[in-house]
Amino acid sequence: MTFSKLNDYFLSIFEKKYRTEQLFDWLYIKRINDFDSISNMKKEVILKLKEDFYFDKIDILEKQEDVDVLKYLLKLRDGNTIEAVLMKHDYGNSLCISSEVGCNMACSFCESGRIKKIRNVESGEMVLEIMTIEKDLGERISHVVIMGIGEPFDNYQNFCDFIEIINHPKGINLGSRHITVSTCGIVPKIYEFSEFPYQVNLAISLHAPNDTLRSKLMPINKVYSLQKLMKAIKYYIMKTNRRVTFEYIMLAGVNDTKECALELVDLVKGINCYINLIPYNETNNLEYKRSFKETILMFYDILKKNNINVTIRREFGRKINAACGQLKTIKENLA
Ligand code: SAH
């Protein structure tokens, strides 16, 4: 529950609002796992809490390690599994979390969409992804990216509650500027997100500079064309005055040509953005290959020369299949 919903709850049971702050302290600062540890509330309140709530938990089923990266296979209460990836940067620990069990977006290049969405990951479960991994690490997580399995804007309310919970100064207190959400382009939610009162960074999975190609790669483009998407993004920038990131996977011979680069320049020219080129991580899908390094650099140069802010994404965890697009809901060989 968010701080404000918990406030309402305490009022509804004729308790004072300061109980919310006390409970946030137990949950997110002291990090207790049972109601009986709460020592500053009356017995009746504790009983009521026990009646109305329970402590959820997430089990770590498996952990794989590579240089500066850890991939976690996590089991939710109902047995469903998701993955989360921890990346160690010089500026802190960044966690990539999953927002859905499976994904309905069916992007042709992405492993996470091989299994249709089974259910939303609840806001509390997203919070638990962070808390479970912080406990396992013995370190704080300083940055969160919602770029694991699932489409966060297809689970919008849980996503919003999650941000409100982790950002709250009386709780985990994770700065909104340290949080990034990535969407494949669910246009109505981009408009809604323009009104979202937290300064969370927005990334858009673009991956193609024209509708023909983008619709081939990402079925969502048949619903929300590039024109609609760009209009929504311009509205978001106008409303929030924030810069957006465009993610662009480099697929050999598909979207990495000189023509594509020039088309991309035209598409984003004048928009307050930067482009993150992502070397494609090869998956079981044999259709796509990673662009050659030289091609990626050629593409990068064209954008740079045209004054587009562009970076090439640093790679993490390719060996342990923990990289972008390699996360999946069910591990086939799980004992
Ligand atoms: N559904 C959201 C959140 C997932 S983000 C979204 O689409 O943005 C995961 C990022 O990794 C997206 O930009 C996705 O397009 C990208 N990705 C998917 N498969 C990939 C692969 N095999 N190699 C590199 N990036 C990939």
What CATH number is given for 59-333 in this structure? 3.20.20.70
Sign of the C-alpha dihedral, residues 92, 144, 227, 207?
Answer: positive
Q: What is the mean pLDDT of each run of 10 residues along the chain (335 residues)?
A: 97 96 98 96 96 96 93 96 95 97 95 90 98 97 97 98 98 97 98 97 98 98 98 98 97 98 97 96 87 96 97 78 69 41
CA 62 – ligand 1 centroid, Å: 22
CB hemisphere CA count around 20 (13 angstroms):
20
Q: Is the beta carbon of 151 within 6 A of some atom in ligand 1? A: yes
Domain boundaries, the chain: 3-52, 59-333
User: CA 221 to CA 204: how far, in whole Å?
Assistant: 12
State the CB neighbour count (10 A cutoff) for residue 163. 24
Task: State the CATH class of domain 3-52.
Answer: mainly alpha
Instruction: Give the pTM.
Output: 0.94
Q: Whose CA is nearest to atom 24 of ligand 1?
A: 280
**Residue to substitute in 324, 326, 328 for testing ligand 1 pocket (most ligand atoms within 8 angstroms of CB):** 324
Give me the active site residues, please. 83, 324
CB 196, CB 189: distance < 8 Å: no
**Residue to substitute in 87, 100, 110, 114 for testing ligand 1 pocket (most ligand atoms within 8 angstroms of CB):** 110
Q: Whose CA is nearest to atom 19 of ligand 1?
A: 325
CA 37 – ligand 1 centroid, Å: 41
Long-range pairs of 4-8 with CB within 8 A, sequence gap ≥ 24: 4/164, 5/161
31: left (phi over 0), alpha (psi -120 to 50) or beta: left
CA 87 – ligand 1 centroid, Å: 16
Q: Is the beta carbon of 232 within 6 A of some atom in ligand 1? A: no
Q: Is the beta carbon of 154 within 6 A of some atom in ligand 1? A: no
Q: Is the beta carbon of 325 within 6 A of some atom in ligand 1? A: yes
Q: Whose CA is nearest to atom 13 of ligand 1?
A: 205
Q: Is the beta carbon of 182 within 6 A of some atom in ligand 1? A: yes
CB 189, CB 21: distance < 8 Å: no
Looking at the DSSP bridge assignments, the partners of residue 93 are 88
Q: Is the beta carbon of 280 within 6 A of some atom in ligand 1? A: yes
What is the 3 state secondary structure string of 150-211? Answer: CCHHHCHHHHHHHHHHHHCCCCCCCCHHHEEEEECCCHHHHHHHCCCCCCCEEEEECCCCCH
CA 20 – ligand 1 centroid, Å: 37
CA 210 – ligand 1 centroid, Å: 18
CA 320 – ligand 1 centroid, Å: 16
Tokens coding 113: 């969409």
Q: Is the beta carbon of 93 within 6 A of some atom in ligand 1? A: no
CB 76, CB 58: distance < 8 Å: yes
